[in-house]
Amino acid sequence: MNIALIGYGKMGKTIERIANERGHEISSIFDSKNPYLHDSQTNADVAIEFTRPDLVVGHIETSMLQHLPIVVGTTAWNSHLPEITQRIIATNSCLVHASNFSIGVNIFQQLCENLAHMMTLYPQYTLSIEEIHHLQKLDSPSGTAISLATGIIENHSTYKSWSLNTVNNKSDLLIEAKRLPDVPGTHEIRATSTIDTISLKHEAHNRDGFALGAILAAEFAVGKHGVFTMKDVLQIT
């Protein structure tokens, strides 16, 4: 499989290494010096995109014009997703998007949704999310934390919205976002009562899990039409 990398920072280089280990070839690399534009040339079977939120829509539009399936790992652009979804369907294109491509994180998210569903029956427990990332991470809360919060809200009758670092009422789900030097990405869900605390935690040791998941998504995307997430890739129901 030939892969076009859109974005060649630390994540792009990790994807390149793991793709090569799985027998794939990086046939094109696009970055700030060689941007991915409508007239860009590539013989790739699929594109993997990790750049900036302000660039994502343009990259997806270009992939649609080139009939190139695209896997998008950039976060904080989901306000455009309804419009993009309509255009992907209308042009018979393919988009796989996720706030986090890690296999472990996606299993963790399903466990958190199951926990939220169970805890609806036990109102004495208050749910909350803590996420910790390195100082260079631009978005706060993380896209993964927002996805986790969305899953909890959809599965728990008390919570209607999430709130960053403070809550104003009982229907707010607290997300505590911390930025510290030299730390792995960590997400923890807590269900706390006056008697005890139940917690689920995912801690990333390196970028390899995210890169592997993105490559699995790229393998899935080839030949597909429509908009998909990692639940489709990993067959999580």
Q: What's residue 136's pLDDT?
A: 81
Please tell me whether residue 33 adopts helix, strand or coil conformation.
coil
Same domain, 119 and 167: yes
Same domain, 68 and 156: no
Q: What's residue 157's pLDDT?
A: 96
Does 184 sit behind a cis peptide bond, omega within 30 degrees of 0 on the bond before it? no
User: What is the domain extent for residue 117?
Assistant: 103-203
CA 200 to centroid of chain Cα atoms: 19
Which of 1-16 are b and which e, b meaning 16 or more Cβ less than 10 Å from the residue's Cβ? Answer: eebbbbbbeebbebbb
Distance CA 195, CA 160 (A): 25
Cβ atoms 237, 104 nearer than 8 A: no
Same domain, 107 and 199: yes
Split into its structural domains, the chain has a count of 2
Same domain, 198 and 224: no
Same domain, 199 and 124: yes
Same domain, 149 and 91: no
Long-range Cβ contacts of 179-183 (<8 Å, 24+ apart): 179/132, 179/133, 179/134, 179/135, 179/137, 179/140, 180/132, 180/133, 180/134, 180/135, 181/134, 181/135, 182/134, 183/132, 183/133, 183/134
Cβ atoms 70, 214 nearer than 8 A: no
Same domain, 95 and 42: yes
Active-site annotation holds for 13: no
Q: Which of 13, 117, 137, 225 is catalytic?
A: 137
Same domain, 30 and 41: yes
Q: Which CATH number covers residue 43?
A: 3.40.50.720
Beta-sheet strands, E only, within 50-171: 70-72, 94-97, 126-134, 161-164
Q: Which CATH number covers residue 161?
A: 3.30.360.10
Active-site annotation holds for 38: no
Q: Which of 133, 156, 187, 202 is catalytic?
A: 133
Q: What's residue 202's pLDDT?
A: 97
**pLDDT tens, residue order, the chain (237 aa):** 999 999 999 999 999 999 999 999 999 999 999 999 999 999 999 999 999 999 999 999 999 999 999 999 998 899 999 999 999 999 999 999 998 999 999 999 999 999 999 999 999 999 999 999 998 887 899 989 999 999 999 999 999 999 999 998 999 999 999 999 988 899 999 999 999 999 999 999 998 999 999 999 999 999 999 999 999 999 997
Q: What is the β-pairing status of strands 126-134 and 94-97? A: unpaired
Same domain, 77 and 113: no
Q: What's residue 150's pLDDT?
A: 96
Same domain, 131 and 90: no
Same domain, 67 and 137: no
Same domain, 91 and 38: yes
Prediction pTM value = 0.87
